[in-house]
Amino acid sequence: MTPAPTSTRSTSAAAPSVVALHVHPVKSLAGVSVDAWPVDARGLVGDRHWAVVDTVGDKITAREARVMLGLRAVPLGDRAGAGIRLTDLTGDDDGDPLEVAAPVDGEPVAVGFSGMPVARAAGAVADEWLARRLGRPVRLVWQGEEHERPVRPEYGGRDGDRNSLSDAAPVHVTTEASLARLNDWVLEGARQRGEPAPDPLGHDRFRPNVVVAGGAPFAEDAWGAVSVGGVAFRTTMVTDRCVMTTVDRDTLEGSKEPIRTLARHRRWEGATWFGVRLTPVLPVPDGAVVRVGDPVVG
C-alpha cells in the first residue's frame, strides 16, 4: 500500500502537486495509503494518535523493535476518535486481525511524550496482541482530544500549535525530486565502491504523510508557508533521519542506506536530513481536506 520507488530522474519542471498520501495511526507501525484525508489542528486526522509504550510508559518505536514495521494499523474511519484494525504482515501471525475502539473512557496512563504526560489505555486485549509480537510486555495507548501536546519551540513550534505523537511536528513531507537525487547519490556511491547497483529506495523508508512531485531536489528545505490544496501549513523544520530509514519494509532487514549516503551529502549539526515537517496554520477551517492531485504552492 506504499508508492513504488520513483525514477532516478533528478529534476522536474512540473508544478508541485501531491502524488501520495499516507496515514499511520500507530507510531512506528505500518499505515495505509489514501486518496484524500481530512486535516485538523494535529495534522491528518488520526495520524500517529496511538503509540506502544512499555510498562512504565516510555515509548517503544521501531528504532529498537523493528518488528513493529511489520505490523499494520488501519484507521476505521477518517474522523477524530475512529478505531483501528491491527494486522500482522510478517507471515508469522498467530492470530486474527484485531479491531480496537478508541478508548475515550480508557484508563489514564502516564507516558513519556514531551509535553503530554498522560494518554488513555486501549486495554488488555490490544496489549496482549502486541506483546505476543514484540516479545515483551507493552501497552497500546491513545491520544484523546483532551490530551494537548505542543510543537516544541526548538522544533519551530508557536503558541497554540498542537502535535500528534509524531516526533517533532504533525505532518511529514517528502518529494520525488529529492528522493530521485538521493537514489542517484546511492547509485554513484555503489559504483565508486565497486558494488552491484542497489534497488532504488522508496518513500516508505521515510514514512511521509504527503509525497510531492514536481520542483527541484530539496526545494522543500526552503519552504516557509505552503498551501496544499488550499489548506495552509507552515514548515517547522527539515527532518533529521534515524536508523529506522535503514530497514527494508518488506524484509525488515537493515543496511547502511540511506544514512551512509545522507551523511556524505546531507549532514549538518551532527545529523542527516531528508524531508520536512509541517504544522497546520491555525485555525484550521472546518472540512479541510488534502487530496492526491492537490497543488502544492509555496
Summarize pLDDT for 61-74 with one digit per residue, the tens: 999 999 999 999 99
Say how many domains are in the chain: 1
Identify the CA nearest to 260 among candidates 275, 250, 277, 245: 245
| 7 lies in some domain | no
Beta strands in 61-137 (DSSP E): 71-75, 84-88, 98-100, 108-113, 116-121
Is residue 1, in this structure, part of any structural domain at all? no
| 228 inside domain | yes
Contacts (Cβ under 8 Å, ≥6 apart) of 268:
none
Q: Is 278 helix (H, G, I), strand (E, B) or coil?
A: strand
Residue 199 is predicted with a pLDDT of 96
pLDDT at 90: 87
Domain of residue 174 covers 17-297
Judge whether 176 lies within some domain.
Answer: yes
Domain-located, residue 6: no
Nearest to 249 by CA among 90, 49, 74: 90
- What pLDDT, on a 0 to 100 scale, did the predictor assign at position 13? 61
Low-confidence residues in the chain, pLDDT < 50: 1-11
What pLDDT does 92 receive? Answer: 64
Q: What is the pLDDT of residue 8?
A: 35
Tell me whether residue 2 is in a domain.
no
- C-beta contacts of 199-204 below 8 A and 24+ residues apart: 199/5, 200/5, 200/6, 200/8, 201/5, 201/257, 201/258, 202/2, 202/3, 202/4, 202/5, 202/6, 202/249, 203/2, 203/3, 203/5, 203/6, 203/20, 203/174, 203/179, 204/2, 204/3, 204/249
The answer to whether position 116 is within a domain reads: yes
8 inside domain: no
Contacts of 222 (CB under 8 A, 6+ apart): none
| Predicted structure pTM score | 0.93
